[in-house]
Amino acid sequence: MNDRLLKAARRQPTDTTPVWLMRQAGRYLPEYRAIRGNIAFLDLCKHPDLAAEVTVQPVTRLGVDAAIIFSDILIPVEAMGITLELGDKGPHFPQPVRTAADIERLAVPDPVEGTGFVAEAIRRTRKALNDSVPVIGFAGAPFTLAAYMVEGGGSKSYILIKRLLFEQPKLAHTFFQKLTDTLIPYLKMQVEAGAKIVQIFDSWGGELSPYDFERFSLPYLTRMVKELQATGVPVIVFGTGMSPHLPLLKRTGADVIGLDWRLPADEGRRVLGPDVAVQGNLDPLHLFLPREELEERVVDILQRAGPVGHIFNLGHGILPPTDPEAAKFLVEAVHRHGAALRQGSRAP
């Protein structure tokens, strides 16, 4: 197995910097669009053969160092007993969670019974790749999932979830505890199926003040990290707009902290200290730069992050209009300049 990613997550030396891209299996790839044109997104997530096929596509086309299983962070939420609609305009919950009774009705599902198709997709991905690169499992963080469930979908102000936190904090903690009790077995199922590393997306954690993040997200993230690390896999924690929360994220004990593009990688390193690996942090829109300028951005990030304990990634998911050839150029540039960085030279 190409284990660069796993070594970097554990801050061990590698021959070059490993790279994968959030949302690397998606609409920017014509081969993905060919499959997606015949099936709804949620149905694709639940079809192990097709989910494995689209998971493998970017590994084959781009040469990335890991395959992240094709799924969605809201998949385990549906298994809790809430109706989920997933389309091109994003997620929608027709009956959002708003009351104590709504939270009480949510189940803590058996992960195999409710979401076993994710584990099967991981097994089929590993077989298709012949375990040539590690498979990344993932889940959302309790606060982020709760935000979707309470708001009924995406939000600009997060007024409903924040009112729940501030007006009914005990109920909010009950909700987060139930989500955590669902997510840990869900991730453990992915590890048992062969995921070698997992990422927790607290996508909307940056909407909270540091005080509120420490109170309402950190305890649950910390518990998830500890219980997943007990299975022997490294854990990545990532969210956008999280630069002010880096000292708190370090307290989760995660092996790797993802950085978005709003903070230079060396500054993130300085805040986090030497005992944590970092992931990131190219602006996804930099993939629209001319190749020469894109390569300069790659070199800058590699130099700032250093040769040990760095996983190259975007600061958020790759965008649908992106040229796949730009993504391939990025991966090749990371590998070329990452190797040169370890030799103390500049790649040609």
CA 237: distance to chain centroid?
8
Identified catalytic residue from 4, 32, 61, 72? 72
Identified catalytic residue from 3, 10, 11, 36? 36
Answer for the pair 6, 134: CB distance below 8 angstroms, yes or no.
yes
The yes-or-no answer on residue 27 being catalytic is: yes
Count the Cβ atoms, other than its own, within 10 Å of residue 272.
20
Q: Is 72 annotated as a binding residue?
A: yes
Q: Is 102 annotated as a binding residue?
A: no
Identified catalytic residue from 4, 23, 61, 124? 23
Q: Is 95 annotated as a binding residue?
A: no
- Quick one: tokens of 114? 């409710």
Of 246, 257, 267, residue with least CA distance to 310: 257
Q: Is 262 annotated as a binding residue?
A: no
Q: Is 148 annotated as a binding residue?
A: yes
Answer for the pair 80, 97: CB distance below 8 angstroms, yes or no.
no
The yes-or-no answer on residue 32 being catalytic is: no
DSSP string, 160-217: HHHHHHHH-HHHHHHHHHHHHHHHHHHHHHHHHHT-SEEEEE-TTGGGS-HHHHHHHT
Q: Is 152 annotated as a binding residue?
A: no
- Quick one: tokens of 7? 């070594």
The yes-or-no answer on residue 72 being catalytic is: yes
Token look-up 């014509």 returns 30
The yes-or-no answer on residue 215 being catalytic is: no
Rounded to whole angstroms, the Cα distance separating 197 from 134 reads 8
The yes-or-no answer on residue 148 being catalytic is: yes
Q: Is 141 annotated as a binding residue?
A: no
Q: Is 273 annotated as a binding residue?
A: no
Identified catalytic residue from 27, 98, 297, 342? 27
Q: Is 26 annotated as a binding residue?
A: yes
Binding site, by residue number, is: 23-27, 72, 148, 203, 316
Binding site as annotated, residues for substrate: 23-27, 72, 148, 203, 316
Annotated catalytic residues are 23, 27, 36, 72, 148
